[in-house]
Amino acid sequence: MSERPTLIFVYNADGGLFDRLSDAAHKIVSPATYRCDLCRITHGWFRERGAWTDFIRRLDADCRFLHRDGLRQRFPDLVVRLPAVLRLNGGRPEVCVAAEDLERCGNVEALMQLVETRCLSCHSQ
C-alpha cells in the first residue's frame, strides 16, 4: 500500500499578520494587480471558499500551506515561481501546478481538477 502524497500549496505572499492584512486590502482595492493567483482562486476577500475547504478535507493527500517566507525557510535552495502547488517526492518538492497554470486557472473548480490530475497522479512516492 502506498503512502499518502504530501502536497504543499505555496502562496505568493509572506505570512506575517501585517503582510496578510496588506494582501487582503490589495485584493479588495486592486484585484487586477493582486499577485497571488492561488489566494485569488481559493479565498474570498476574508476567508477560504467553502468548496475549496471541502475539497481539501476530502483529498487523499496530506496538505500543507506555506507562504513565500515559510517556503524559503523550509527549502532555502528551491527556486520556483510562486504561487505553486508542490508535491514531496522522497522529501524533495517538485512542482505539480506551476504559477503559469494558476494564472490561467479561472475558478476553484478548475484548480481542483488540476490538483487531482497533476498532483495525485503525477509521481509515485
Name the grid cell of 123.
509521481
Q: Could you report the per-residue pLDDT of 69-95, keeping only the tens digit for each? A: 999 999 999 999 999 999 999 899 999
Distance CA 9, CA 65 (A): 5
Residue 80 resides in a domain: yes
pLDDT reading at 1 higher than 50: no
Q: Kindly indicate the confidence band of residue 124, based on its pLDDT and cuts at 50, 70 and 90.
A: very low
State the average pLDDT for the chain. 83
CATH classification of the domain holding 30: 3.40.30
Residue 89 resides in a domain: yes
Residue 1 resides in a domain: no
Mean pLDDT, rounded, for 51-71: 95
Residue 22 resides in a domain: yes
Residue 81 resides in a domain: yes
Name the grid cell of 60.
487523499
Domain span including residue 96:
6-119
Please give the order of strands across the beta sheet that includes 92-97: 62-67, 6-11, 84-89, 92-97
Residue 53 resides in a domain: yes
- For position 18, what pLDDT does the model report? 43
The pTM of the full predicted model, rounded to 2 decimals, is: 0.82
Count: domains in the chain: 1
Residue 83 resides in a domain: yes
Residue 125 resides in a domain: no
